[in-house]
Amino acid sequence: MAGVRTSIHGEWSSKLAFVLAATGSAVGLGNIWKFPYVAGQNGGGAFVLIYVACVAIIGVPIMMAEVMLGRRGRQSPINTMRTLAAEEGRSPRWGLLGWMGVLAGFLILSFYSVIAGWALAYVFRTAAGLFDGATADFTAQVFSNLISDPEKLIAWHTLFLIMTMVVVARGVAAGLETAVRFLMPGLFVLLLLLVGYAMAEGQFVHGLQFLFAPDFGKVTPEVILMAMGQAFFSLSLGMGAIMIYGSYLPHDASIARTSIAVASADTLVALIAGLAIFPVVFEYGLQPNAGPGLIFQTLPIAFGQMPGGAFFGTLFFILLVFAAWTSAISLVEPAVAWLVENRGHTRVYAAVVCGMLTWFVGLGTVFSFNLWSDYRLFGRTFFDLLDYLTSNIMLPIGGLLIAIFAGWLMKERSVKEELKMDDSLGYRLWRFLVRYITPVGVGLVFLNVIEVI
Ligand code: PFF
């Protein structure tokens, strides 16, 4: 029976361990690197508002559904979906949802690791005092030197992937808990310090206005799609990462409360990162729509000007690497768990195979910043294309299918048994959101964009 199934990969030591691990997955480059530059490219305020709305009415219900499916299935997302589909009398083809997640995880990790490599490189550049007294021109130059050198990017990408695969090979629970318990609060404190700097030295009010005063004239279907994609990416939804973490969740933990805690922490970190960055952007006459290099060109100026900046800067990039690390692990865990369950491989072997594949695809992202920077496919570089395809298409489709399965295809009795919320108001709200609002919302966004194309 579903109630007594256990995972062969182990279980979190407590409910808190799950919250920490899921927060570790959610909080990463998506909050600190991606959120500010995507908000900057999409006009600020209105985008941010839509993003927060997507987190609340689409993200949280889907997160609850993913955790619920994971805990009930207790296996890799592919096998969880197959097992649950069989139990609920549905087609075994639901396993394909797990496969799509595995593919999305590979594609995301392939570029995620390259960007995390930038953060690694910046640990050393900051520690060496390179940015002391730096101007905006200088930080732009340092960034462009880094990304125009494929050899350097490959070296950092390789190092980051090795770090990730070592943890995955040893099993997710060992190490991850401690890393998240101490390092996440550290990252948070440093972000607050940066906000303090931005208040004192930057154009704070301008930054606030940019982030929080919505200009609805700037809203297009594309902006809505980007905001929704960012919500999925930032919350790690739609590809089975949260599902597999849910599969290690003890039976007595409240799925609703833990999901809300994770989503709130994730959103708070993104907003605070925005508050740290935009005042500096405006103070130094930088462009909010500078793209993927935004934080790498902006924050070093702040570190270069503030007292003790080399120290705080180094610490910041170290913590950013940790945040990226704990997210990267969750991107391959579904694939590794499947290789262990179905092919009988050891975790070590599975991690090596996944690592090599990801490394290879990652070269495309490395080259899209230098050798291939002029090539465009559908008007985008290889990196942009991967990012767009995963965040804006694959994750929302994954989320949509999860919502349909949990809201429409599972027997309500099974859902209730797993969520343990009885017939409370919270349960009814969740059910309403997951059955109607989520599918209709995601569907409408897609339809709108297709119409525009
Ligand atoms: N949520 C991570 C971030 O914001 O950096 C990225 C991510 C991790 C996306 C795991 C998807 C995922 F399954």
**34-51 pLDDT per residue, tens:** 999 999 999 999 999 999
Handedness of CA 387, 238, 250, 60 (dihedral sign): positive
What is the identity of the amino acid at 173? Answer: A
Q: How far apart are CA 225 and CA 219, in angstroms?
A: 10
Q: How far apart are CA 31 and CA 233, in angstroms?
A: 9
| Residue 251 pLDDT level (bands cut at 50, 70, 90) | confident
Q: Which of 330, 336, 390, 395 to mutate to test the pocket of ligand 1 (most atoms within 8 A of CB)?
A: 330
For residue 202, being part of any structural domain is answered with: yes
Q: Which atom of ligand 1 is nearest to the CA of 266?
A: 4
Cβ of 234 below 6 Å from ligand 1: yes
Quick one: average pLDDT of 203-219?
A: 96
pLDDT at 2 over 60: no
**175-185 pLDDT per residue, tens:** 667 667 778 88
Residue 228 and residue 62 in contact, taking contact as beta carbons nearer than 8 Å: no
303: Cβ–Cβ under 8 A, 6 or more apart, which residues? 126, 131, 134, 309, 310, 312, 313, 316
Cα(345) to ligand 1 centroid in Å equals: 26
Kindly report the three-state secondary structure assignment for every residue of the chain.
Answer: CHHHCCCCCCCCCCHHHHHHHHHHHHCCHHHHHHHHHHHHHCCCHHHHHHHHHHHHHHHHHHHHHHHHHHHHHCCCHHHHHHHHHHHCCCCHHHHHHHHHHHHHHHHHHHHHHHHHHHHHHHHHHHHCCCCCCCCHHHHHHHHHHHHCCHHHHHHHHHHHHHHHHHHHHHCCHHHHHHHHHHHHHHHHHHHHHHHHHHHHHCCHHHHHHHHHCCCHHHCCHHHHHHHHHHHHHHCCCCCCHHHHHHCCCCCCCCHHHHHHHHHHHHHHHHHHHHHHHHHHHHHCCCCCCCCCCHHHHHHHHHHHHCCCHHHHHHHHHHHHHHHHHHHHHHHHHHHHHHHHHHHCCCHHHHHHHHHHHHHHHHHHHHHHCCCCCCCCECCECHHHHHHHHHHHHHHHHHHHHHHHHHHHHCCHHHHHHHHCCCCCHHHHHHHHHHHHHHHHHHHHHHHHHHHHC
- Protein residue closest via CA to atom 7 of ligand 1: 236
For residue 10, being part of any structural domain is answered with: no
With vertex at residue 440, the alpha carbon angle to CA 439 and CA 446, rounded to the nearest 5 degrees, is 90
Q: Which of 23, 107, 236 to mutate to test the pocket of ligand 1 (most atoms within 8 A of CB)?
A: 236
Cα(399) to ligand 1 centroid in Å equals: 14
For residue 7, being part of any structural domain is answered with: no
Quick one: average pLDDT of 203-216?
A: 96
The 10 Å Cβ neighbour count of residue 231 is 32
pLDDT of residue 91: 96
Name the β-bridge partners of 380.
377
What domain range includes position 290?
Answer: 15-449
249, burial (CB in 10 Å: exposed 0-12, middle 13-18, buried 19+): buried
For residue 381, being part of any structural domain is answered with: yes
pLDDT of residue 447: 85
Residue 126 and residue 314 in contact, taking contact as beta carbons nearer than 8 Å: yes
Site of tokens 């270069």: 304
Q: Which atom of ligand 1 is nearest to the CA of 26?
A: 1
CATH code of the domain covering residue 333: 1.20.1740
The number of residues making up the chain comes to 453
Residue 446 and residue 216 in contact, taking contact as beta carbons nearer than 8 Å: no
For residue 315, being part of any structural domain is answered with: yes
- Protein residue closest via CA to atom 13 of ligand 1: 236
For residue 5, being part of any structural domain is answered with: no
| Residue 4 pLDDT level (bands cut at 50, 70, 90) | low
- Asked which of 58-72, 92-106, 165-179, 314-328 is least confident by mean pLDDT, the reply is 165-179
- Protein residue closest via CA to atom 11 of ligand 1: 236
| Percent of residues, the chain, with pLDDT higher than 90 | 86
For residue 365, being part of any structural domain is answered with: yes
pLDDT at 453 over 70: no
**381-393 pLDDT per residue, tens:** 999 999 999 999 9
For residue 8, being part of any structural domain is answered with: no
Cα(65) to ligand 1 centroid in Å equals: 17
Q: How far apart are CA 400 and CA 406, in angstroms?
A: 10
437 is written with which tokens?
A: 């609002």
pTM of the full predicted structure? Answer: 0.95
Cβ of 26 below 6 Å from ligand 1: yes
Cα(29) to ligand 1 centroid in Å equals: 8
Cα(7) to ligand 1 centroid in Å equals: 23
Q: Which atom of ligand 1 is nearest to the CA of 395?
A: 11
Cα(426) to ligand 1 centroid in Å equals: 26
Handedness of CA 137, 139, 140, 144 (dihedral sign): positive
Cα(395) to ligand 1 centroid in Å equals: 10
Cβ of 368 below 6 Å from ligand 1: no
Phi-psi region of 236 (alpha: psi -120 to 50; beta: other; left: phi over 0): left
pLDDT of residue 1: 44
pLDDT of residue 390: 96
pLDDT at 331 over 70: yes
Cα(310) to ligand 1 centroid in Å equals: 28
CA-CA-CA-CA dihedral for 233, 236, 241, 242, to nearest 10: -150
Q: Which of 110, 102, 119 is nearest to 29 (CA)?
A: 119
Q: Which atom of ligand 1 is nearest to the CA of 240?
A: 13
Handedness of CA 54, 253, 5, 335 (dihedral sign): positive
Q: How far is CA 17 from the centre of its chain?
A: 19
Q: How far apart are CA 248 and CA 27, in angstroms?
A: 19
pLDDT of residue 175: 62
pLDDT of residue 372: 97
Q: Which atom of ligand 1 is nearest to the CA of 31?
A: 4
pLDDT of residue 12: 80
- Average pLDDT score, the chain: 94
- Asked which of 119-123, 178-182, 285-289, 376-380 is least confident by mean pLDDT, the reply is 178-182
Q: Which of 25, 66, 262 to mutate to test the pocket of ligand 1 (most atoms within 8 A of CB)?
A: 25
Cβ of 30 below 6 Å from ligand 1: yes
pLDDT of residue 3: 53
pLDDT of residue 8: 86
Cβ of 25 below 6 Å from ligand 1: yes
- Protein residue closest via CA to atom 9 of ligand 1: 236
| Total count of domains within the chain | 1
Cα(329) to ligand 1 centroid in Å equals: 10
Cβ of 326 below 6 Å from ligand 1: no
Helices 150-170 + 309-343 axis angle, to 10: 60
Cβ of 108 below 6 Å from ligand 1: yes
| Percent of residues, the chain, with pLDDT higher than 70 | 97
Residue 324 and residue 180 in contact, taking contact as beta carbons nearer than 8 Å: no
